[in-house]
Structure formats: C-alpha cells, structure tokens
C-alpha cells in the first residue's frame, strides 16, 4: 500500500493566523499568567474547610498602628497620583469650511486661465497641465475669488476677505453646533502659514466675536502644513495649566497672497495643488464635557529636522530670478519627509504599539546588530495600534509613500485620497476633512483610535493620536454631506486633459 505524502505545512498553515495567535498571547501575557494563579488559590480555599479558613485568618496578627499607617500611605499616594496626572483634553466638536460652488476650479477652467496669463511661457503651461493630470485632484476643488481674475489679483484686501469668509463661517458653524458663546472661550490659537497681517488673524477673530479682554490668544505663522497639530499641542499645554477652560483652534491657509506668477517649476507646484479650506476645533478640559465630546487627545509627537540644511530649505519661500515671490518645493522633499517620519514613529511606537509588535521590533534590531546586518528591518504593524489613519493630503506622492512604508491598505488611506480629490491640498486643515470623511462614512466607533500625521516646512513631521469617546452618527452638516454617497471614487494614475 503506497504511503500517503506528507502535507505541505508551509501552504496549509496560514501564517497570518500564527501571527494573530502570537499577538494575542503576548498582548494578554499578564492575563494568562495571573488567571491560573487565581484559579489555584480559589481551588485551595474551596479545599479548605471553614474552620481552617477561620484559623488562618486568626493567625494573622493585625496591629492598629500598622493599619493606620498603611491607610495613610494609600491615601497619600492616591492623592499625589490624581493631583499630578495631566488633565484629560477633550475634542468637543469641530467644523470644516465648505467653499461655495462659485469658487470651484475645474481643470478646464484652470488651464484656460493659465494659457491666458501672459506671464506664463508655453513650457510652464504644459508643466502645470502634467502636474494636474497626475495630482489626484478632482473637478470640484476651489480657489478664492482673487485667484479667479486673469491674471490673479493677490491683494491684502482679497486675502482679508478670504480669511473672513473661511474662518468666520467655520467658527459660526462650530458655535452653533456646540451651543457655547464667544465669551466662554478662554484660549484662542490660530495657525496660518503664509498670510500674517497686522493686526493678526487672532486679533481679527477677537474683534469680530467681541471675546473677553483676558483671552489668551496666539497666532502661528510660517509653520507650514503641519501647524494644525502644533496648534493642538499648544492648546493642550495651555489647557493643562488653566483648569475649567475652553480652547478654540483655527487651522487654515489663506492662499490669495501666495499665488506665483513666474516660470520656475519648483514654485509652480503650489499653484496646482493648494486649495481653499479651513477648520475650527473646540477643545475642553472640563470633566462635564467628557460625555458629549467626540474624542479624547491621547498623544502628540513632534519632530523637527530644521538642524539639517537640506531639510530646512526643502520648502522655502523666496524670489525667483524675475523677482516673483513663491514657495519652492525641493526634489529631495519626499526623502526628507521619509526621514522625518522615521524619527517621528520611533518616538510614537513605544507609546502606542502593543507589546507583540515592540518585541518583534526589538528582536529584529538585536539580530541585525549582533548576528546578520543584512536582515530586513522589521516595520511595526501600526494597524495593531490604530483603526483610522489621517495622512496629510499634501499630494498623491505623499499618500502613496506612507501607504507603502506603513504597509497600509487602500481603505486606510481612503480618507486622505478622497480629501485630496474633493478639496485639494488644504494645508493644515486637511486632517480634519479626512476625519470628517471617516465620520460621514459611519466608520467611527467608540474606542477607535485615530492617527493624524502631518508634514510641514522647517522640516517637520507631527502626529496626534485621538480616541473616540462615542460612536458617531453620520453628521448632516459635514462638508461631505452632499457628496459622500459618490465616494470613494476611482482615481486614475493620469487624467488626460
């Protein structure tokens, strides 16, 4: 009788289930350790009779002084712990600005205007067309009114008008949603990189809403697309030292004054990618807001690579040879962003990754150091730490690179791709459009963890981690409300114009 062949275990055993078993075992190690001990103690107590248990209890000598000292020590340590631990910071709610349809710039309109602007030579027009074809943007992105002129008219008045339109609309909607009054706001943080008027934008908001004279207001400029997370971090630090307070954070980029009219290719990229947008976020450290708040802030990790000259100059505002002012994007941008991300996740990993992933990373690091340097480095599986990813929608290449490096699925980067398609690169506020997309899809559940990742000039990579406080119903006032049924859409590699 012929012997049956042995099964091919390499094919029959699915390695993903082996990995899942390993993760479950390591992440619940203490449970597996203590449960048998507790069961053994319980069985021993059941084996003993009542007389033996009473005898054991009486054999333990209790001293009233020891009991009082122990009780005092427990109360003291508990008091110190609760007094010294940081206050919980809650995100009560937020709103994203939705531009009117009159501001939309389809590809055909953009290219028609570019051809009619005499300052652009034919090569620059063709370059902008190729960028748009591969950008990942859709036909509904918006530019401010001053950019619709031929040629665009980047005036101070136009920039102020755009700022008022974006910021005041966002704040009005937020105040209506949360039911708070402008006088209730204790802290105001505004970030806008390229438009920094005098008086500041934060002063403009205080004047418009007649806020209190003792409000703590801050205006951040020149911080780039990652300034939204910086503003959250600043507001968090202020809320730690000012109890029972509300903090209002405004993240936007006013692009009216940043139009570039020259022919240097590295400076034409922002014209093609940046679009109108803004967000208003209400933070609170009040315990009574914990029930109605959408999210709780867990971590903020900031990485600054400005000490390196290449990183410092990879996003740089300057004049070209003809005297036109613009923001130049270096060819080394993606490599520098990769290094900044590596530094950022090195700090973030130990804070959020489960023990199973940290052990695998440690074993690989030891193996590469002492056994074989050619071993492939282990990339931690951040999908074990987060349910949702909000990657700054700076461009198609940024999203592609993070999807590849973090080994994410199409669904994990869906919010970022669709935000880029529908709203374009809205700079620091893009993270909030992505969060709104996830909510509009009904995917945000209680306990879900969200990782916001942003890149900005300097060069910086900043991360914020949020935990969802409650399952969020699909909002009716979302910027996605009238189009979410159409998404996700297929975005081709090249859109022929």
User: Which of 191, 421, 461, 468 is an active site residue?
Assistant: 421
CA distance readout (Å), 289 to 179, 180, 468 = 12, 12, 14
Is residue 225 part of the annotated active site? The answer reads: yes
* Structure token digits, residue 154: 């980047």
Catalytic-role residue among 225, 272, 461, 468 = 225
Catalytic residue (one of 103, 263, 388, 462):
388
Give catalytic status of residue 27 as yes or no: no
> Is residue 412 flagged as an active site residue?
no
Q: DSSP readout, 401-469? A: HHHHHTT--TTTTHHHHHHHHHH-B-GGGHHHHHHHHHHHTT---TT-EEEEEEEETTTEEEEEEEEES
Q: How far apart are CA 393 and CA 423, in angstroms?
A: 9
Of 153, 242, 304, 483, which residue is the catalytic one?
304
Catalytic site includes residue 304:
yes
Indicate the pairing of strand 460-468 with strand 295-304. antiparallel
- Of 197, 199, 253, 250, nearest to 224 by C-alpha is 253
- Active-site annotation holds for 388: yes
Query: How far lies 367's CA from each of 77, 364, 406, in Å?
Result: 41, 5, 21
Bridge partners of 90? 284, 296
Catalytic residue among 263, 285, 425, 469: 425
User: Cα–chain-centroid distance for residue 173?
Assistant: 22
Side-chain half-sphere exposure of 385, counting CA atoms within 13 A: 23
List 96, 192, 271, 392, catalytic entry: 392
* Angle separating helix axes 333-352 and 355-370, nearest 10 degrees: 120
Active site residue 299: no
Catalytic residues: 225, 304, 388, 392, 421, 425
């Amino acid at each position: 009788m012929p012997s049956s062949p042995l099964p091919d275990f390499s094919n029959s055993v699915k390695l993903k289930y082996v990995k899942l078993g390993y993760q479950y075992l390591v992440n619940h190690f203490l449970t597996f350790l203590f449960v048998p001990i507790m069961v053994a103690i319980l069985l021993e107590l059941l084996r003993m009779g009542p007389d033996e248990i009473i005898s054991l209890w009486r054999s333990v000598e209790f001293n009233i002084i020891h009991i009082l000292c122990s009780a005092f020590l427990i109360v003291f340590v508990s008091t110190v712990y609760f007094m010294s631990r940081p206050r919980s910071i809650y995100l009560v709610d937020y709103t994203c600005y939705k531009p009117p349809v009159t501001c939309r710039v389809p590809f055909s309109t953009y290219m028609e205007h570019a051809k009619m602007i005499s300052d652009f030579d034919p090569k620059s027009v063709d370059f902008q067309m190729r960028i748009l074809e591969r950008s990942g943007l859709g036909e509904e992105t918006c530019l401010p009114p001053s950019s619709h002129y031929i040629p665009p008219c980047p005036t101070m008045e136009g920039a102020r008008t755009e700022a008022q339109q974006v910021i005041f609309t966002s704040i009005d909607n937020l105040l209506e949603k949360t039911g708070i009054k402008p006088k209730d706001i204790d802290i105001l943080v505004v970030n806008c990189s390229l438009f920094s008027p005098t008086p500041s934008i934060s002063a403009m908001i205080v004047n418009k809403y007649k806020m209190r004279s003792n409000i703590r207001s801050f205006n951040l400029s020149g911080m780039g697309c990652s300034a939204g997370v910086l503003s959250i971090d600043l507001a968090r630090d202020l809320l730690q030292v000012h109890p029972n307070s509300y903090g209002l954070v405004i993240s936007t980029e006013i692009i009216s004054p940043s139009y570039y009219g020259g022919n240097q290719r590295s400076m034409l990229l922002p014209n093609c990618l940046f679009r109108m947008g803004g967000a208003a976020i209400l933070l609170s450290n009040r315990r009574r807001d914990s029930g109605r708040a959408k999210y709780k802030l867990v971590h903020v990790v900031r990485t600054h690579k400005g000490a390196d000259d290449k990183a410092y100059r990879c996003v740089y505002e300057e004049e070209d040879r003809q005297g036109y002012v613009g923001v130049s994007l270096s060819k080394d941008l993606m490599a520098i962003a990769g290094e900044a991300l590596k530094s950022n996740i090195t700090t973030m990993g130990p804070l959020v990754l489960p023990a199973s992933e940290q052990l695998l990373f440690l074993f690989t690091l030891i193996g590469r150091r002492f056994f074989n340097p050619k071993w492939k480095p282990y990339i931690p599986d951040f999908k074990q730490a987060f349910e949702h990813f909000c990657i700054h929608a700076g461009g198609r290449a940024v999203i592609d690179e993070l999807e590849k490096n973090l080994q994410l699925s199409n669904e994990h980067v869906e919010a970022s791709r669709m935000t880029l398609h529908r709203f374009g690169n809205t700079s620091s506020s893009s993270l909030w459009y992505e969060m709104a997309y996830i909510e509009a899809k009904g995917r945000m559940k209680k306990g879900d963890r969200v990782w916001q990742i942003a890149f900005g000039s300097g060069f910086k990579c900043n991360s914020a981690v949020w935990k969802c406080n409650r399952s969020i119903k699909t909002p009716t006032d979302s910027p996605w409300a009238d189009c979410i049924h159409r998404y996700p859409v297929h975005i081709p590699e090249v859109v022929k114009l």
